[in-house]
Amino acid sequence: MRCRRASAAARAIGVAAALALLGAGCSPGAGGVRPGAPTAATGATTTAPPAADTPTSTLPDLSARPLDAADLAAMLPPGGSGTAAGPAETEERGNTVLLAAAVLDPADEAADVAGFGRVTGVAARYAGTGYEAHAWIDLLTGPDEAHGYLLDTAGDITKRAGGSHRPDIDLAGAADFPADGIGEEALGLVLTLNGPEGAETETVIFFRYGRLVGFASVVRPGEADDRVAVQHLAEEMAARMPAVMLQAEPPEPPAGDPEAFGFTFEQEVTAGAESWALAASGRVVGGDLTCRVQASGPGVAFDRDLVLVGERLWARNHGAGEYREVGGDDAGPGAATLRAHRRRRSLSTHRSSSETPRPVGTSPTRSPDPQPG
């Protein structure tokens, strides 16, 4: 499935808010857990924003038991479902292999390994249709060291000083987003990359469980919004960690389609003695969006249904009349044309899903392969 579809859906919500004359966003509804909107990273920070000033644990630290690379490998998703849909290509990533891949600042990487007490690690790659998913687990000597290593690694990536980037990757931009409810602390990054075959988007979630640091990533050509897909992958990793340490049966991957979710949003804006209310609710399926946007207040009375199919946005007054394309002919194509356009999209998606996916051609921020391809 092409990468532009989910990002186009996100843009439609912005268009809807502009039509309502107010700023808007959306948060997860019952249809799925959706991370918050990314914000641009600013300044020459040395680390990404921490989820907490210091790591906290209220339960016994299961990761304090002896662990080795085989244990870590069992924590990786086996592949074949969810975001990790392709077969898993796994390998052990000991410190020697890690340092050999540190092409941007080997001295800093070596200092991190020694300073934070990295013991070993494992990595896996999953080839999806039009994207690559990556999972990485690092084992540190303790929770405090894991906390510092998580923040330092994220900071090194945004500074282009580490994170085992391949030399043909150029980081063009970075934004952070909240990733709540994964492990004991977590943070997310959306990276814009200039690769040898064009622009790419890498969406990453770092999280910590005791002295383990997890790294979940989805890399896709062009512009993409993969925060839901990468959260599914991170949640699967975080669920497998305690199961392995307790020698229990690993849980099933998180249910639901990463590209199908519902959302709701409500906000009140106050300026002096006046206030305005904005609400939005809808659903995204495969990148196509259907939603209702409402706004009320002094000088504003707005209630519209919006549909985004591909890159085309359609609107109508709520529950009345035919849909008309936003920015199109005033006569509007009508509901029949909208249905025909949706059918063409469905047929196109069906055909493309049966084709052999094009290799992404570049590795993510932390690739299982230490050598450039």
Question: 237-257: per-residue pLDDT in tens?
Answer: 999 999 898 887 766 666 555
> What count of Cα atoms within 13 Å lies in the side-chain half-sphere of residue 6?
23
Which one, of 283, 249, 211, 199, lies nearest residue 12 by Cα? Answer: 283
pLDDT at 270: 86
Q: What is the pLDDT of residue 143?
A: 94
Query: pTM for the complete prediction?
Result: 0.59
Q: What are the strands of the beta sheet with 118-127, ordered from one edge?
A: 39-40, 170-177, 185-195, 198-209, 212-221, 132-140, 118-127, 84-92, 79-81
Q: Which residues contact 114 (CB under 8 A, 6 or more apart)?
A: none
Tell me the average pLDDT of the chain: 74
The 10s digit of each residue's pLDDT in 178-203 is: 888 899 999 999 998 887 778 899 99
What is the dotted CATH code of the domain comprising 39-245?
Answer: 3.40.1000
pLDDT of residue 224: 87
pLDDT number for residue 283: 78
Q: Are 319 and 308 in contact (CB under 8 A)?
A: no
pLDDT at 301: 85
Query: Comparing C-alpha atoms, which of 115, 167, 137, 127 is closest to residue 371?
Result: 167
- Would you state the pLDDT for residue 156? 83
Provide the residue ranges of all domains of the chain, joining segments of one domain with +. 4-30+259-353, 39-245
Rounded distance between C-alpha atoms, residue 98 and residue 106, angstroms: 10
Q: What is the pLDDT of residue 74?
A: 93
Query: How confident is the model at residue 24, as a pLDDT?
Result: 37
Residue 203: what pLDDT? 93
Amino acid (one-letter) located at 217 = S
pLDDT value for 351:
41
Tens digits of residue pLDDT in 262-277: 778 888 888 888 888 8
Mark the ranges of the chain whose per-residue pLDDT is less than 50: 1-35, 42-53, 56-57, 162-168, 330-333, 347-373
pLDDT the model gives residue 39: 54
**What are the helix (H) ranges across 78-127?**
95-100, 106-116
